[in-house]
Amino acid sequence: MTKTLRWGVLSTAKIGLKYVIPAMQHAAFTEIRGIASRNAESAQQAAAVLGIPKAYGSYEALLADPDIDAVYNPLPNHLHLPWTLRALEAGKHVLCEKPLGLNAAEVEQFQQSAAAHPNLVLAEAFMYRHHPQWAYVIGQVRSGLIGRVQTVHAHFSYFNTDAGNIRNKPEYGGGGLLDIGCYCVSSSRWIFGREPDEVAAFMVNDPAFGTDRLASGILRFGDATATFSSATAANLWQGLIITGDEGRIEIPVPFNPPPDQPAKIRIFARGEARETEIPPANHFTLQAEHFARLVSGEATPVIPLEESHANLRILDAIRESAQTRRVVQV
The CATH number of whichever domain residue 314 belongs to comes to 3.30.360.10
Same domain, 169 and 83: no
Give a yes or no: residue 195 inside a domain.
yes
Same domain, 28 and 102: yes
Average pLDDT estimate for 158-187: 97
Average pLDDT estimate for 150-157: 99
Average pLDDT estimate for 288-303: 98
Assign residue 95 the CATH number of its domain: 3.40.50.720
pLDDT at 86: 99
**Strand bridging mode 30-36 / 54-56:** parallel
Give a yes or no: residue 23 inside a domain.
yes
- Report how far residue 192's alpha carbon sits from residue 190's, in angstroms, rounded to the nearest whole number: 6
Average pLDDT estimate for 15-38: 96
Record the pTM.
0.97
Give a yes or no: residue 305 inside a domain.
no
Give a yes or no: residue 22 inside a domain.
yes
* CA distance from start to end of the chain: 42
List, for residues 69-120, the tens digit of each pLDDT value.
999 999 999 999 999 999 999 999 999 999 999 999 999 999 999 999 999 9
Q: If you average pLDDT over every residue of the chain, what do you get?
A: 98
Give, as one character, the DSSP assignment of residue 16.
I
Same domain, 275 and 188: yes
Within 10 angstroms of residue 95's Cβ, the number of other Cβ atoms is 27
Same domain, 173 and 255: yes
pLDDT at 144: 98
Same domain, 173 and 319: yes
pLDDT at 13: 84
Same domain, 171 and 189: yes
Give a yes or no: residue 304 inside a domain.
no
Give a yes or no: residue 236 inside a domain.
yes
Classify 145 as helix, strand or coil: coil
- Report how far residue 146's alpha carbon sits from residue 150's, in angstroms, rounded to the nearest whole number: 10
H runs (alpha helix) in the chain: 14, 21-24, 40-50, 59-63, 80-89, 104-116, 132-142, 176, 182-192, 283-295, 305-324
Give a yes or no: residue 101 inside a domain.
yes
Same domain, 154 and 231: yes
51, exposed or middle or buried, with CB in 10 Å at 0-12, 13-18, 19+? exposed
List, for residues 249-270, the tens digit of each pLDDT value.
999 999 999 999 999 999 999 8
Within 10 angstroms of residue 67's Cβ, the number of other Cβ atoms is 10
Same domain, 139 and 226: yes
pLDDT at 1: 84
pLDDT at 14: 82
**Do 33 and 7 form a contact (C-beta atoms < 8 A)?**
yes
Same domain, 117 and 228: no
Query: Is the model's pLDDT at 15 over the cut of 90?
Result: no
pLDDT at 248: 99
Query: Is the model's pLDDT at 214 over the cut of 90?
Result: yes
pLDDT at 164: 94
- Report how far residue 99's alpha carbon sits from residue 245's, in angstroms, rounded to the nearest whole number: 33
Same domain, 241 and 258: yes
Same domain, 120 and 226: no
Give a yes or no: residue 274 inside a domain.
yes
Percent residues over pLDDT 90 in the chain: 98
Give the range of the structural domain holding residue 268, as residue numbers without chain letter: 132-280+310-329
**Strand bridging mode 198-205 / 54-56:** unpaired
**Selection from 46, 12, 4, 66 nearest residue 29 by Cα:** 4
Same domain, 93 and 50: yes
Total domains in the chain come to 2
pLDDT at 16: 85
Percent residues over pLDDT 70 in the chain: 100
pLDDT at 55: 98
